[in-house]
Structures are given as structure tokens and as C-alpha cells.
Amino acid sequence: AQSVTQLGSHVSVSEGALVLLRCNYSSSVPPYLFWYVQYPNQGLQLLLKYTTGATLVKGINGFEAEFKKSETSFHLTKPSAHMSDAAEYFCAVSGFQKLVFGTGTRLLVSP
């Protein structure tokens, strides 16, 4: 069975600071990993995904994530936070026939 663990239910950064959201996964098969963003009262938008190939994955809005098999991690980063990045972020792993989501991390960005 697949699962993901997101460390930190809330992360606070200042505008312009580095964003780091942590995700660790557990999977019995080579994982497909995803980061989604959710704005209040909206559905999920795919930020980026790792399936195969290059372990450093670039996504939309300046985000990127690195798949590290040895650490079973897929942390999300952005060099410089913007106020518009404030949202809920979900890490997910693809299981057989479905996605399994982490509990989410709320990113707070202060001016």
C-alpha cells in the first residue's frame, strides 16, 4: 500500500523567502508522486509530478521538487515566496487505480 506523510500542517515564510514543504512517501512499487495546490473553496491544481526519468521536476509558478529514493522524499521548494503562494498544498502518491493524499500543509506568506 502507498502512503504519504507531510511534515508540518502549517509553514510560515516571509515574502521573498525560500519555501520548503516536506513530503515523505511509502510505496511497495516505484512511486509516481505529485504536488497539488488548493486555494480556498476550490478544487486541486496540479503543480508538478514525478513519474520516471529526471529526479528534479519543475512545475508551474516557479515550484520544483526532487525525488530522492534513498530518503523516500519528494520535498517541494520555491526559491522566493510570493503572497499569491499562500494556499494549501497536498503531496500525493499514485497507488493502484487511485491517488493517495497526504494531510496537507498550509503555506502562510507574510509581507
Partner 1 sequence: GAVVSQHPSWVICKSGTSVKIECRSLDFQATTMFWYRQFPKQSLMLMATSNEGSKATYEQGVEKDKFLINHASLTLSTLTVTSAHPEDSSFYICSAIPGRRAPYEQYFGPGTRLTVT
CB of 66 to partner 1, least distance (A): 19
Distance CA 9, CA 73 (A): 17
Distance CA 17, CA 72 (A): 25
Distance CA 34, CA 47 (A): 8
Kindly tell me which of 18 and 60 has the beta carbon lying closer to partner 1: 60
Considering only residues 18 through 57, tell me which ones interact with partner 1, judged by CB under 8 A. Answer: 32, 34, 36, 41-45, 49, 51
Kindly tell me which of 45 and 55 has the beta carbon lying closer to partner 1: 45
Question: What three-state secondary structure class fits 26?
Answer: strand
Kindly tell me which of 19 and 91 has the beta carbon lying closer to partner 1: 91
CB of 19 to partner 1, least distance (A): 20
Asked if 43 and 59 touch (Cβ cutoff 8 Å), the reply is no
What one-character DSSP code corresponds to residue 6?
E
Site size for partner 1, by CB under 8 A? 22
Q: Give me the residues that bind partner 1 (CB under 8 A), please.
A: 32, 34, 36, 41-45, 49, 51, 90, 94-99, 101-104, 106
